[in-house]
Structure 1
Amino acid sequence: MDIQGYCAPGFEALYDAFAANFRDHGDVGASFCAVQEGEVVASLWAGTTDRAGAQAFEEDTLCNVFSSSKGILALIALQQVAAGNLDLDLPVAEYWPAFAEAGKSTVTGRQLLSHRSGVIAFTEKVSDDLIYDWDRALQQVAATTPWWEPGSQQGYSPFLYGWTVGGLIEAASGRTVRDLYRSGVGDPLELDGGFGAVGHRSTRIADVGPLKKPLPELRDNAIGRSIKEDRQGPVATAFTNPVSLMMGTNGDAWRGALIPAANGHFSARDLAAVYGDLASESPQLLSSATLTEATQEQTRGQDAILQTDVAFGCGFLKSGIAQDLAFGGSRGFGHPGAGGSVGFADPEIEVGFGYVTSRMGQSLFMDQRAVGLKDCLYRLI
């Protein structure tokens, strides 16, 4: 495998760690980037982007990062907090009156961001094309009943998170999610990608597909078992209503839509740039005070949807002790995505980390590919 890119002196071992993902773990097209104290210590890419293997993967190739998108959306929400447009402890309905329907009048922005709202899935069967229509999706979310009493337990929202948080920040700011992203995040850092796959600085897009050979799991993934055991329960419904949430991710409809919990398309250097900034002593994107408050633990416990013990700040997963959730030190935070992508910040040593791939694994959080790169990086720092 011909590895392209750069490693700073002393970080050359990352070439081998990245190459091992292609040699041993099934990567076909991927990129990796790490930033420390504002300087790029590694930016590597290799492989191809299309099923025919004809198009080379480049540094600015965009991959669908799935739930890693949530960290970027959370950042935009926090920017509205810092600007004084949004108070996370007020009911969402103060900004978005329609959201008060169906028992949601007391749900707060903080509960949405920290996955304690109970609004984790549509309670009625919805049409497959709903997810491609932003306004219809917001209307459906506003009419949806929480699956349990808001605030009573922690339950991750795989897809509705994007419409609930996105609808809130649009109502609070009077601006669109895409506009807020461009002006607050994409343009200041000159990022390659954004939500959806079109209209960005980079037009290179990787087709995603499953790994040909599944990687050994780093933990028991109980989600699949829960879906099989109760096809009408909250876990199954959160991931499969509608079924288009799990299909068509290489199609034009998916790539052109705004599905901010799941269809962000970013390069590894995008994720490393965002989290590198947030890990710095003087972030450009968000005030240190707002970031410190937002990354404090808001909730911890056995998650009703993820079926494992996790902790959340406001929109970010908190670093844990398990290797697939260890975002550096104890102050680390970030967000992995289905298939293997991840971005995280480690403020203790001012590291920003980004990895994206076109070949999806089945791990719940980070898999062996990102963990191998992370472990190698930390041995060198």
Structure 2
Amino acid sequence: MKIYGFCAPGFEALQDAFARNFRECGDTGAAFAVRQHDQLICSLWAGSADRNAECPFTEDTIANVFSASKGVLALMALQQVAAGKLDLDRPVADYWPEFTEGKATVTARQLLCHRSGLVAFRKRVDDKVIYDWHAACKEVSRTEPWWPPGSQQGYAPFLYGWGLGGLIERVAQKPLTELYRESLANPLDLDGGFGANGHRSHRIADVAPLKQPLPELRENAIGRAIKEDRKGPVAMAFGNPVSLVMGTNSPEWRSALIPAANGHFSARDLAAFYGDLAQKTPTTLSREWVSEASREQSCGHDKILQAEVRFGCGFILSGEAADLRFGGARGFGHPGAGGSVGFADPERGLGLGYITTRLGQSLFMDRRAVGLVRALYGLLS
């Protein structure tokens, strides 16, 4: 497999680690980028962007990064807080009166750190709801939490995007996509965004499962929980409707606004996004609010992820487990289903992005991203 791109002097070994993912781990199209102290020190890409291996992967190819989208949305919410338009600890209903049905006390902070109880639709919904931004936001606004808000930590795979995104639109008083372009895409010169249409790059990669699943880094407790209760919150959170996990190459999915899960970004985008947050003086958010974003807000056994997870305001915080180790102890970021990940390491002034078209089954980072992170930090130490 021919590897394209560059590594700064001293980081050449990253190319070997990246190539290993193609030789040994099933990658067929992927990209990896790292920024440190606002300088791009690595940008690598290889393989094809389509299933027929006819369209080459390029540096600005964008791919669905699934939940790695959540960090981008979280930053947009914090920008509204910094602007004085949103109070993290006021009820969402103060800004969004239709946000009812047992959610009168739910705050923006609880949405951000997954303590709202609003983890899944309670009734079955069809595709036309999730592909319609206003219909999805309306459905979330009238969905009852699965447990009393604030009482437990429970990750919201999809409703996070409509709940938080709907709130952002109301306080900013402009469409989410327009706000994204103004506040993030233009300042950081990003290739992609939510959905896959209308961005700087129109090179969109198809995603597909790994042909041979990688050995798991931890037990698939989510799968077990789904089998045990097909109507429970875990099953409903990940599979209602089925297109949330089955229709991700379709034109409908790519043209929809599903900000918790259908962000399409390049590896260079994720490195730029998190590289900015890792700086002493970020351009997109004040250091004060970056510190709040990366301060622990919730920690414990997550009722949906079925794992021990630490959350800041919209970001997962670095942990001891290899698949949640985002650089140093102060690291924060977000992995996406299938293997993509982006994170910031403020101690090193570093932002990292990895995207792939071959989707693994790991809950957080899988062996491909973990291998790249270990190779990088072996060169930094």
CA distance in 2: counterparts of 1:349 and 1:278, whole angstroms: 11
**What amino acid is the match of 1:55?**
C
Query: 2:145 aligns to what?
Result: 146
Superposition map of 1:150-189 within 5 A: 150-189=149-188
Q: Which amino acid aligns with 1:41?
A: I
SS in 1 for 2:67: coil
Is 1:379 aligned to residue 378 of structure 2?
A: yes
SS at match of 2:226: helix
- Aligned equivalent of 1:28: 28
Within a 5 Å distance, the mapping from 1:192-231 to structure 2 comes to 192-231=191-230
Q: CA deviation at 1:176?
A: 1.2
Superposed displacement of residue 180, structure 1: 1.2
- The one-character-per-residue Cα deviations of 1:42-76 (angstroms, maximum 9, x if unpaired) are 00000001111011000000000000000000010
CA distance in 2, matches of 1:202, 1:293: 32
> What count of residue pairs does the alignment treat as equivalent?
380
Instruction: String of CA shifts for 1:6-29, please: whole Å, max 9, x gaps.
Output: 100000000100000000000000
Find the residue that maps to 1:68 and give its secondary structure.
helix
Match of 2:66 in 1: 66
- Sequence identity of aligned pairs in percent? 66
Q: Is the 8 A contact 1:129 1:244 kept in 2?
A: no
Q: Does 1:282 align with 2:281?
A: yes
Write the letter of the residue equivalent to 2:76.
Answer: I
CA drift of 1:248 comes to: 1.2
Partner residue in 1 for 2:356: 357
Which structure 1 segments of 5+ residues have no match?
Answer: none
Q: Which residue of 2 aligns with 1:259?
A: 258
Which whole-Å CA distance do the structure 2 matches of 1:39 and 1:83 have between them? 28
Task: Name the aligned partner's letter for residue 273 of structure 2.
Answer: V
State the match for 2:49 in structure 1: 49
- 1:80-130 alpha-carbon deviations (Å, 9 max, x no partner): 11111110100000100000x211011000000000000000011112221
Residue 347 (structure 1) aligned with residue 373 (structure 2): no
Structure 1 residue 160 displacement after superposition: 0.2
Letter in 1 for 2:358: R
Aligned counterparts of 2:188 and 2:293: Cα–Cα separation in 1: 21
1:245 — aligned with what? 244
- Matched with 1:309 is 308
CA distance in 2, matches of 1:319, 1:221: 20
What is the alpha-carbon distance in structure 2 between the residues aligned to residue 326 and residue 103 of structure 1?
Answer: 36
In the TM superposition, what is the alpha-carbon distance from 1:216 to its structure 2 partner?
A: 0.5
Shift of 1:210: 0.2
Contiguous gaps of at least 5 residues in structure 2: none
Matches within 5 A, 1:318-357: 318-357=317-356
Structure 2 residue aligned with 1:122:
121
SS of aligned partner of 1:103 = coil
Q: CA deviation at 1:179?
A: 1.1
Q: Tell me which amino acid in the other structure corresponds to 2:95.
A: Y
* 2-structure distance, mates of 1:352, 1:126: 37
How many Å separate the matches in 1 of 2:115 and 2:287?
A: 25
* Letter in structure 2 aligned against 1:298: Q
Looking at structure 2, the residues matched to 304 and 105 of structure 1 have their Cα atoms a distance apart, in angstroms, of 22
**1:4 aligns to what SS in structure 2?**
strand
Q: Which runs of 4+ in 1 moved over 3 A?
A: none
| 1:94 counterpart residue number | 94
Distance 1:76 1:179 in 2: 12
Task: Output the TM-score relative to the length of structure 2.
Answer: 0.99
CA offsets per residue over residues 226-284 of structure 1, 9 Å max, x none? 10110000000001111111111111000000000000000000000000000011100
1:192-217 residue CA offsets vs partner (Å, 9 max, x unmatched)? 00000010000000000000000011
Contact 1:31 1:44 in 2 (8 A): yes
Please say which of residues 356-365 and 176-185 is displaced more in the overlay. 176-185
